[in-house]
């Protein structure tokens, strides 16, 4: 299987097919993530959730999608028309681009699809950094006070939490010695009789907790969903968006959620390794568990106030992440000499 | 003493004074005030609670299929009753229209004749209309009626597609009662 | 393939550069510069500079330009007034552009390339090689830049603080 | 002229330098022509980017990591410059009613 990638023509064929397939897989996964969220959130509130369209409400998203797609696609007066239309497109592009480097552990020898670059995780960060543009430009171009405030809030939030997110992963890189996502998953330890991959959360538990909190903040999810806070900002940067443009933002949010869950599974939970479970199912299982954690958090915690959010990011998570890097470095030097 | 002569301090305070930041928040118990362990404990308690709820059965009813039972005395749409021999109970006295607080009942009475006997009394209701858009379902008409001609039934799903359809005419009101209401009224006799 | 990628990216970069100068709203200028940066990052990737590519997007496009956006959003959409107090500046700059371009073209014609050092291209430009460079030979300038950043942060906080007397 | 072997295809190193020259000149024009101080700052960033491209291109040409390291340093400098420059701008716009840099000239002569 691996020589498919080394053959120049086969390489491009694989990439073209993988891109198309991945687009549909991620789209479908997103649709069912939305379904999963609505059902799980419903169960947390002791109600059944959507169960009308199709068996168990599984076709709900198709119905919603059709409804939103047939809405009138209008641009409000006095907006910056070009930017208003471009912003949701940036959101979707940024959300999907990250999947170029995420190895999804398809089968035993095909662990990556599109690209296996040696700065993989940096590419994910780079692409997710572009998310800020979608939100800020959307808020700015809407020419609406609430949109602008939502956009600015989210820009501040994303920039502050991106630092903790990046620093939380540095210990992982230091232990593994590579930024390639495949290397991180396949990191092998020789512990006495045991030789093989381990979930790296054992080695970097603090990093995982910081990653978890920052990732929730980074994807603008509850309890850090200040940019869209309905109660105070009537939907934030989304206020003026409707129809397909709204769908694009919505899609981007859920794709980002899946991306972050997939990264957590890859970086801290051994990716596609799970006993005898076939790789792709093991990977899926871990991602779904993380998605459930997301929903669980959303169903449990109230939204943070803005100053609390900033305090948590700058005064707790960032110093903790730095300390984590330093301590890990010291331990590494002590162990490896 | 006129109100304006009162000193402002003597005025009653606002019943719920506006709260400032952290004001009115119950004080944390001593000993476990700000420790991180207590905070994490609180967070995990919240997570445990929601997880418990997740695994307990839903408490909601799936409305169009399942409905909550109505009380016996529920006041829904109106019915006009008949005697067992088929005569209408309504004698066109217009007491219901007089009792109605919103004036949604229109009764136009006519004399009964020997050839055309509709109700046992002297007169009967030639026209009996209820504007359901105005009706507040207070049930005063039922109480006012001397012959128990009008009753309020259990139906509450009264939506329709045009305003005209909400003027319930006599034909519609004379529809037979739901059996359980009929049984209840029979038992009262 | 690489040639096509280069020329597409270069064309985008030049278009973005023109956009920076030509757009009237500052926000469009900022976004044009973002386009330039993204195109340049692709070119960096072509040049075996993976780490510089990532830093270009994360730091430059993701943080510095967002700061610009932030300031524009804060100050509101200011449009430039076409007032002609210094109209001759336009002509002067055209002259300057021509001279500068000519000069650079001349330089490019006469460029002599030195023979490259021996180097392993598979290791070149990776994060490891950058790290080794930064923390051994170039530790001093690296530390200097960190101090520069600290000074800049303190300066920015000092400049943008809320003055008590004029609020 | 020297060619670079990039991904199996030959690309002349001068192309990178030419692109960089064009971007640099565009940035310089922006600084000279535009009156909005924000856009002037943006143009300076454009010039810095052009310089970075030269650094990275020569780094690849000579297979020497120093060029990339210097490009990273210049990014840091650019970030610092942008932060301080924007802070000054915000301060100016807050304290004075200025539309563009012409309003900020203190000397009348």
DSSP letters for C2-54 = HHHHHHHHHHHHHHHHHHHHH-SSHHHHHHHHHHHHHHHHHHHHHTT-HHHHH
Compute the C-alpha angle D19/A89/A258, nearest 5°: 110
A-B contacts at Cβ under 8 angstroms: 36
Closest CA to A302 of B95, B42, C108: B42
Give how far the C-alpha of residue A70 lies from the chain's centroid of Cα atoms, to the nearest Å. Answer: 28
User: Using the beta-carbon criterion (under 8 Å), do C21 and D83 form an inter-chain contact?
Assistant: no
Chain B residue closest in CA terms to A44? B54
Would you state the structure tokens that stand for residue B41, as one six-digit string?
């404990």
**What residues pair up with A188 in beta bridges, in sequence order?**
A197
CA–CA distance from C20 to each of A54, A116, C82, D47 (Å)? 52, 34, 17, 11
Say if D18 falls within a structural domain. Answer: no
**Angstrom distance (rounded) from CA B168 to CA B160:** 12
CA distances from A220 to A159, C135, D20 (A): 12, 36, 38
Res B15 pLDDT > 70 = no
Q: Which residue has the tokens 């543009």?
A: A133
| Beta carbons of A126 and C57 less than 8 Å apart | yes
Res D53 pLDDT > 70: yes
Q: What is the DSSP letter of B17?
A: P
In a domain, D50, yes or no: yes
* A148/C73 touch (CB, cutoff 8 Å), yes or no: yes
Cβ-contact A325, A167 below 8 angstroms? yes
Distance from C-alpha of A87 to C-alpha of A244, rounded to nearest angstrom: 12
Residue A190's Cβ-side half-sphere holds a number of Cα atoms within 13 Å equal to 0
pLDDT digits (tens, 9 = 90+) for B43-100: 889 888 888 888 888 888 888 888 888 888 888 889 998 888 888 888 888 899 999 9
Closest Cα partner for D1 from D10, B188, A13, A280? D10
Is D27 within a domain?
no
CB contact under 8 A, C153 and D78: no
With CA atoms as reference, the chain A residue closest to C50 would be A119
3-state SS assignment for residue C109 = helix
Q: Sign of dihedral through CA atoms C111, C114, C115, C116? A: negative
> Domain for residue D77, yes or no?
yes
Q: Is the peptide bond before B161 cis (omega within 30 degrees of 0)?
A: no
User: In 3D, which of D29, D26, D66, D83 has the Cα closest to residue D49?
Assistant: D26
CA distance B184 to C14: 87
Short-list D85, A217, D70, CA closest to C64: D85
Quote the domain boundaries for residue D68.
35-101
**pLDDT computed for residue A330 by the predictor:** 92
With vertex at residue A235, the alpha carbon angle to CA A230 and CA A241, rounded to the nearest 5 degrees, is: 155
pLDDT tens digits, one per residue of C15-53? 999 998 888 888 888 999 999 999 999 898 888 888 888
Q: Does B56 touch chain A (CB under 8 A)?
A: yes
Tell me if residue B76 falls in helix, strand or coil.
coil
Whether D1 has a pLDDT exceeding 50, the answer reads no
Probe site for chain C from A101, A124, A130 (most C CB atoms < 10 A):
A130
Structure tokens at A218: 């980074």
Output DSSP code: residue B70: P
More confident residue, C117 or B30: C117
Interface B:D, ≥3 CB–CB pairs < 8 Å: no
Burial, C106: exposed, middle or buried (Cβ in 10 Å; 0-12, 13-18, 19+)? exposed
* Chain D hits for C130, Cβ within 8 Å: 65, 68-69, 72
Q: Do B57 and A46 touch (CB under 8 A)?
A: yes
| pLDDT, chain B, mean | 81
The subunits that touch chain C, with at least 3 C-beta pairs less than 8 Å apart, are A, D
| Minimal Cβ distance to A44: which of B43, B50, B57 | B50
Range with top average pLDDT, B21-25, B143-147, C79-83: B143-147
- Going by C-beta distance under 8 Å and a sequence separation of 6 or more, which residues neighbour residue A12? none
* Pick from C66, C69, C68, C18: nearest CA to C39: C18
Give the whole-angstrom CA distance, residue C24 versus residue A80: 13
Q: Do chains C and B touch (3 or more CB pairs under 8 A)?
A: no
- Report the pLDDT averaged over residues D71-95: 86
Chain D, 30 to 69: residues with Cβ < 8 Å from chain C are 30, 32-36, 38-39, 41-43, 45-46, 49, 52-53, 56-57, 59-66, 68-69
pLDDT tens for each residue of chain C, 167 residues long: 678 888 899 999 999 999 988 888 888 889 999 999 999 998 988 888 888 888 888 888 888 888 888 888 877 666 555 555 566 777 777 888 888 888 878 877 777 777 766 667 777 777 888 888 888 888 998 899 999 999 998 988 888 776 666 54
- Buried/exposed code over D26-40 (b: 16+ C-beta within 10 A; e: otherwise): bbbbbbbbbbbbbbb
Chain A residues touching residue C28 (CB < 8 angstroms): 83
Are residues A48 and B62, on separate chains, in Cβ contact within 8 Å?
A: yes
CATH number for the segment(s) C1-79 = 1.20.120.1200
Among A229, A233, A249, which residue's Cα sits nearest to residue A241?
A249
Q: Is residue D23 part of a domain?
A: no
CB atoms within 10 A of CB C120: 8
Q: Is B34 on the interface with A (CB under 8 A)?
A: no
Please report, for chain C, the start and end positions of each structural domain, with discontinuous segments joined by +. 1-79, 129-167
Mean pLDDT of chain D: 81
pLDDT on residue B130: 92
- Does D19 map to a domain? no
Indicate the number of domains in chain D. 1
Using an 8 Å Cβ cutoff, are A204 and A171 in contact? yes
Instruction: Give helix D13-33 / helix C88-109 axis angle, nearest 10°.
Output: 160
Write out the DSSP string of A223-277: TS-GGG-HHHHTTGGGTT--HHHHHHHHHHHHHHHHHHHHHHHHHHS-TT--TTS
Q: Tell me which chain B residues have a C-beta less than 8 angstroms from the C-beta of A48.
A: 58, 60, 62
Question: Of C108, C61, C116, whose CA–CA distance to D16 is shortest?
Answer: C108
Q: Which one of B54, B58, B60, B64 makes the best mutation probe of the A interface by having the most chain A beta carbons within 10 Å?
A: B54
Q: Backbone phi, then psi, for A191, in 5-degree steps?
A: -110, 100
Name chain C contacts of A151, Cβ cutoff 8 Å. Answer: 73
User: CA B47 to CA B53: how far, in whole Å?
Assistant: 10
**Strand partners of residue B107:** B128
CATH of the domain at D73: 1.10.287.3510
Domain presence at residue D7: no
Residue B66: partners with Cβ closer than 8 Å, 6 or more residues away = none
First and final C-alpha spacing in chain B: 60
Q: 């810095």: which residue's tokens?
A: D48
Residue D79 lies inside a defined structural domain of this protein: yes
Q: The tokens of A56 are what?
A: 């168990």
Q: Tell me if C62 and A122 make a contact (CB, 8 A cut-off).
A: no
C49 interfacial to chain A (CB closer than 8 Å): no
Q: Is residue A87 within 8 Å of A138, Cβ to Cβ?
A: yes
Q: How many CB pairs under 8 A join C and D?
A: 241
Distance (Å) from the alpha carbon of C37 to chain D's nearest alpha carbon: 7
pLDDT at A187: 80
- Could you tell me the domains of chain B? 78-188 (3.30.70.3270)
| Residue B1 predicted with pLDDT over 50 | no
Q: Are chains C and A in contact at 3+ CB pairs closer than 8 Å?
A: yes
Rounded to whole angstroms, how far apart are CA atoms A16 and A12?
Answer: 6
pLDDT: which is higher, D71 or B30: D71
Identify the CA nearest to A99 among candidates A82, A84, A120, A81. Answer: A120
Q: Do A29 and A39 form a contact (C-beta atoms < 8 A)?
A: no
Question: Can you say whether residue B14 is alpha, beta or left, with left for phi > 0 and alpha for psi between -120 and 50 degrees?
Answer: beta
> In whole angstroms, what is the distance from residue A317 CA to residue A322 CA?
9
DSSP structural state of residue B82:
B
Q: Which residues contact A278 (CB under 8 A, 6 or more apart)?
A: A107
pLDDT at res. D108: 59
Whole-number Å distance between alpha carbons of C48 and C121: 8
Question: Number of A:C CB contacts under 8 A?
Answer: 73
pLDDT in 10s for each residue of chain A, 337 residues:
455 556 667 777 877 887 888 888 888 888 888 888 888 888 888 888 888 887 888 888 888 888 888 888 888 888 888 888 888 999 999 888 888 888 877 766 666 667 777 788 888 888 888 888 888 888 888 888 888 888 888 888 888 888 888 888 888 888 888 888 888 888 877 777 777 777 888 888 888 999 988 888 888 887 887 766 666 667 778 888 888 888 888 889 899 999 999 888 888 887 787 777 777 888 888 889 989 998 898 888 888 888 888 888 888 899 999 999 999 999 988 887 6
The full DSSP string for A286-316 is HHHHHHHHHHHHHHHPPPPPHHHHHHIIIII
Residues 6+ apart with CB under 8 A from B132: B77, B104, B158, B166, B167, B168
């Amino acid at each position: 299987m691996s020589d498919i990638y080394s053959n120049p023509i086969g390489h491009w064929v694989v990439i073209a097919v993988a891109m198309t397939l991945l687009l549909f897989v991620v789209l479908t996964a997103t649709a069912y993530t939305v379904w999963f969220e609505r059902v799980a959130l419903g169960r947390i509130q002791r109600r059944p959730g959507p169960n009308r369209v199709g068996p168990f409400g599984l076709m709900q998203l198709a119905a919603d999608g059709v409804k939103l797609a047939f809405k009138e696609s209008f641009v409000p007066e006095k907006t910056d028309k070009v930017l208003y239309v471009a912003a949701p497109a940036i959101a979707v592009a940024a959300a999907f681009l990250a999947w170029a480097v995420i190895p999804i552990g398809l089968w035993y020898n095909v662990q990556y699809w599109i690209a296996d670059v040696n700065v993989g995780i940096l590419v994910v960060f780079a692409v997710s950094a572009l998310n800020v543009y979608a939100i800020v430009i959307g808020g700015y171009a809407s020419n609406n006070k609430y949109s602008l405030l939502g956009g600015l809030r989210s820009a501040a939030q994303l920039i502050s939490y991106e630092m903790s997110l990046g620093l939380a992963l540095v210990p992982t890189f230091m232990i593994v010695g590579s930024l390639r996502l495949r290397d991180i998953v396949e990191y092998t330890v020789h512990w006495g009789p045991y030789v093989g991959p381990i979930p790296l959360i054992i080695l970097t538990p603090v990093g995982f907790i910081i990653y978890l909190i920052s990732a929730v903040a980074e994807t603008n999810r509850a309890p850090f969903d200040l940019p869209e806070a309905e109660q105070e900002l009537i939907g934030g940067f989304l206020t003026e968006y409707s129809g397909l443009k709204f769908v694009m933002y919505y899609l981007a949010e859920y794709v980002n959620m899946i991306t972050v869950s997939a990264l957590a599974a890859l970086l801290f939970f051994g990716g596609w390794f799970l006993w005898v479970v076939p790789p792709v199912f093991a990977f899926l299982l871990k991602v779904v568990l993380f998605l459930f954690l997301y929903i669980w958090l959303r169903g449990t915690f109230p939204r943070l106030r803005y100053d609390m959010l900033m305090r948590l990011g700058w005064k707790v998570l960032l110093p903790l992440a730095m300390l984590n890097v330093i301590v890990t470095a010291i331990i590494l030097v002590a162990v490896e000499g | 003493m006129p109100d304006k002569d009162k000193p402002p301090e003597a005025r009653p305070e606002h019943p719920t004074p506006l709260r400032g930041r952290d004001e009115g928040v119950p004080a944390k118990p001593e000993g476990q005030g700000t420790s991180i362990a207590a905070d994490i404990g609180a967070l995990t308690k919240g997570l445990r609670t929601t997880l418990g709820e997740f695994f307990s059965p839903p408490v909601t009813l799936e409305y169009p299929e399942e409905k909550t039972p109505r009380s016996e005395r529920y006041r829904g749409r109106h019915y006009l009753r008949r005697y067992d021999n088929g005569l209408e109970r309504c004698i066109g006295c217009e007491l219901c229209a007089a009792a109605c607080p919103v004036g949604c009942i229109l009764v136009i009475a006519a004399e009964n004749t020997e050839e055309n006997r509709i109700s046992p009394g002297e007169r009967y209701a030639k026209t009996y209309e209820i504007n359901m858009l105005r009706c507040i379902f207070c049930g005063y008409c039922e109480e006012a009626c001397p012959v128990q001609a009008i009753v309020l039934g259990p139906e509450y799903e009264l939506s329709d597609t045009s305003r005209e359809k909400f003027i319930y005419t006599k034909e519609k009101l004379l529809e037979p009662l739901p059996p359980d209401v009929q049984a209840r009224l029979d038992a009262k006799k | 393939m690489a040639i096509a990628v280069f020329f597409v990216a270069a064309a985008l970069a030049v278009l973005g550069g023109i956009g920076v100068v030509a757009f009237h709203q500052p926000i469009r200028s900022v976004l044009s510069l973002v386009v330039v940066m993204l195109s340049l990052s692709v070119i960096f990737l072509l040049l075996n500079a993976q780490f510089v590519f990532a830093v270009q997007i994360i730091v430059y496009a993701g943080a510095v330009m967002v700061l610009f956006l932030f300031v524009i959003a804060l100050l509101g959409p200011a449009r430039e007034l076409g007032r002609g107090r210094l109209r001759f500046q336009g002509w002067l700059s055209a002259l300057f552009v021509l001279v500068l371009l000519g000069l650079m073209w001349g330089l490019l014609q006469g460029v002599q390339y030195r023979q490259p050092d021996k180097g392993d291209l598979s290791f070149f430009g990776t994060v490891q090689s950058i790290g080794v460079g930064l923390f051994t030979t170039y530790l001093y300038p690296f530390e200097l830049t960190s101090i520069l950043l600290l000074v800049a942060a303190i300066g920015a906080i000092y400049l943008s603080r809320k003055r008590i007397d004029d609020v | 002229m020297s060619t670079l072997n990039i991904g199996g295809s030959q690309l002349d190193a001068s192309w990178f330098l030419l692109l960089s020259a064009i971007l640099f000149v565009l940035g310089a024009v922006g600084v000279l022509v535009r009156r909005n101080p924000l856009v002037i700052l943006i143009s300076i960033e454009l010039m810095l980017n052009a310089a970075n491209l030269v650094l990275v291109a020569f780094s690849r040409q000579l297979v020497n990591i120093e060029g990339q390291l210097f490009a990273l340093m210049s990014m840091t400098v650019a970030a610092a410059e942008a932060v301080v420059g924007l802070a000054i701008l915000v301060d100016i716009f807050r304290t004075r009613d200025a539309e563009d840099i012409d309003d900020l000239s203190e000397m009348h002569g």
